[in-house]
Amino acid sequence: MSAVRVLRSRRFLRQLPPGLPASLRRRYSLDVPAALLRTQGYLGGRWVSAASVFPVLDPATGQELARVSDCGPAEAKQAVEAAYEAFQSWKQTTAKERSVLLRKWFDLLVLHKEDLAKLITFECGKPMRESLGEVAYSASFLEWFSEEARRVYGDIVPSPAKDRKILLLKQPVGVASIITPWNFPSAMITRKAGAALAAGCTVVVKPAEDTPLSALALAQLAEQAGIPAGVVNVVPCSREKTPAVGQVLCTDPLVAKISFTGSTATGKVLLKMAADTVKRVSMELGGHAPFIVFDSADVDSAVGGAMASKFRNSGQTCVCSNRFLVQSGVYERFVDKLGRAMDAELRLGHGSEPNTTQGPLINSRAAEKVMHQISDAVSRGAKVLKGGNRLDGSFMEPTLLADVSTDMLCTKEETFGPLVPVIRFETEEEALAVANAADVGLAGYFYSQDVGQVWRVAEALQVGMVGVNEGLLSTPEATFGGVKQSGLGREGSRYGVDEYLEVKYMCFGGLRP
């Protein structure tokens, strides 16, 4: 089977500091079947080249993986028109037909999981084990929504009049623009597209400029599954062209729905764009998750949850714990055990190496942000117990800070990196006040063995998702979404399909009593 390999190196790693394996000096090659390494846009069932290309880099080494078509507003418009045309027939398919096609797409993801995981690791940087987990997670949404497609029920409502019937019908909204981030380049697409296709909508996907290869591979497998031309479209583009492409996807009158995952700042820009044509909008925006450990907690369990929640994808997930609040009675024990766990379990390196648990951050800007937060915290009295250094490229040492206070930058803004700032608190009320002080509210976590406290805190936390004695909570069966400035709407679960449906009231009158 033919394979595509690394094209060339954009930069070479310099002398490696302590903490990075010497294996990073060697060149890594991305070996996947050529059929899955697509580099053109996918518009209306055709692979289309743009006038220019942009490079996709391995964030661990800086090596160039591929050059991808740099689509612009013209290609975005073409994709929207193709999706609109395909919608006219796709909305007429039966729920069973859509279910069968989504199931075939799911089966193909499972079949090609190893190669899809390689794409994620090389363009996103996460360890191979996590990439395989993402592919399974990504596929699970297609499986879930293939089943939900056949459970989109309307209602027959008892009428107050004897000569009429009241029916509530559910119908697809139309073309959906799907704009996704780099940190889950596969799962964020299927979580949205799976629901949209189940409802009878068609989609135009704009993947992040750092990670277009996973999106294009998904399009290839959708085509192979038999999903009709124009139902799924992918418009890759560079950072420079993203504003113009986004403008088309958020303002074109043929687009009925926008689903976006990304920063709160960008989400606000897209909301303003969508306002002129009053589009349906779903927004999964920034988080700043609190992780609270009460005196009654099982400390070993809390440390395990903290490791899972904080260090997945090197801290680059929207539901990562950001602010660690530990009650004074267990503070010293928690910090000591967490530091020991970090030493024992975390290994920096290229994601394709089997022992790696921590890959690079996505780019140098991300590493600079983490370093800025560490410097600010130290200048205000925090103590660095572990790590604290930036290594080569965008690699960051996993860092543990003690004596953190709420005036520090790391407690005020999302980090998106492997930084654990630990705040000491005395009372439940104090912890909740700190946790709820943020203007965002995506996820929150806490550990307690006090049943009364569990109910109080779970209800009081101003977030859309709560992990109680659990550091990982995402699953296709449950809702995913936040409150306050963390977004609008919900993804996953049976409610995820509703985001792509309109409810039409039909009054059937003139009936004989």
CA distance 267 to 281: 10
Instruction: Give residue 27's pLDDT.
Output: 76
Mean pLDDT of 492-499: 97
Per-residue pLDDT for 9 more than 60?
no
Catalytic hit among 75, 143, 284, 428 = 284
Catalytic hit among 71, 237, 318, 320 = 318
Question: Between 187-199 and 128-148, two packed helices, what is the crossing angle to 10 degrees?
Answer: 10
Mean pLDDT of 259-278: 96
**Percent of the chain having pLDDT more than 70?**
95
CA distance 223 to 229: 8
- For the stretch 423-465, pLDDT in tens is 999 999 999 999 999 999 999 999 999 999 999 999 999 999 9
Task: Estimate the share of the chain in helix, then strand, then coil, as percent rounded to the nearest 5.
Answer: 40, 25, 40
- Within a 10 A sphere around the Cβ of 492, how many other Cβ atoms? 24
Per-residue pLDDT for 265 more than 60?
yes
Instruction: Give residue 513's pLDDT.
Output: 79
Mean pLDDT of 313-330: 97
8 A C-beta contact, residue 163 and residue 154: no
Mean pLDDT of 255-272: 97
CA distance 446 to 326: 10
Task: Band the pLDDT of 16: cuts 50, 70, 90.
Answer: very low
Instruction: Give residue 25's pLDDT.
Output: 61
Q: Show the tokens assigned to 267.
A: 């989400």
**Residue closest to 417 by CA, chosen among 346, 342, 318, 324:** 318
Mean per-residue pLDDT of the chain = 94
- For the stretch 106-116, pLDDT in tens is 999 999 999 99
> What are residue 42's phi and psi, to 5 degrees?
-120, 105
CA distance 165 to 37: 54
Mean pLDDT of 373-387: 98
Instruction: Give residue 19's pLDDT.
Output: 58
- Within a 10 A sphere around the Cβ of 26, how many other Cβ atoms? 10
CA distance 172 to 200: 5
Is 430 in the active site? no
Instruction: Give residue 473's pLDDT.
Output: 95
Task: Band the pLDDT of 23: cuts 50, 70, 90.
Answer: low
Q: Which amino acid is at 277?
A: T
Mean pLDDT of 136-158: 97
- For the stretch 88-140, pLDDT in tens is 999 999 999 999 999 999 999 999 999 999 999 999 999 999 999 999 999 99
**Percent of the chain having pLDDT more than 90?**
94
Instruction: Give residue 24's pLDDT.
Output: 60
CA distance 400 to 420: 5
CA distance 441 to 435: 9
- For the stretch 231-243, pLDDT in tens is 999 999 999 999 9
Instruction: Give residue 490's pLDDT.
Output: 97
Residues contacting residue 359 through CB under 8 Å, at least 6 positions apart: 59, 60, 121, 125, 126, 127, 313, 314, 348, 349, 350, 351
Task: Band the pLDDT of 10: cuts 50, 70, 90.
Answer: very low
Instruction: Give residue 499's pLDDT.
Output: 97
Is 237 in the active site? no
- For the stretch 168-227, pLDDT in tens is 999 999 999 999 999 999 999 999 999 999 999 999 999 999 999 999 999 999 999 999
Mean pLDDT of 337-342: 98
- For the stretch 295-305, pLDDT in tens is 999 999 999 99
Domains, the chain, ranges and CATH?
Answer: 37-285+489-502 (3.40.605.10), 289-474 (3.40.309.10)
8 A C-beta contact, residue 291 and residue 268: no
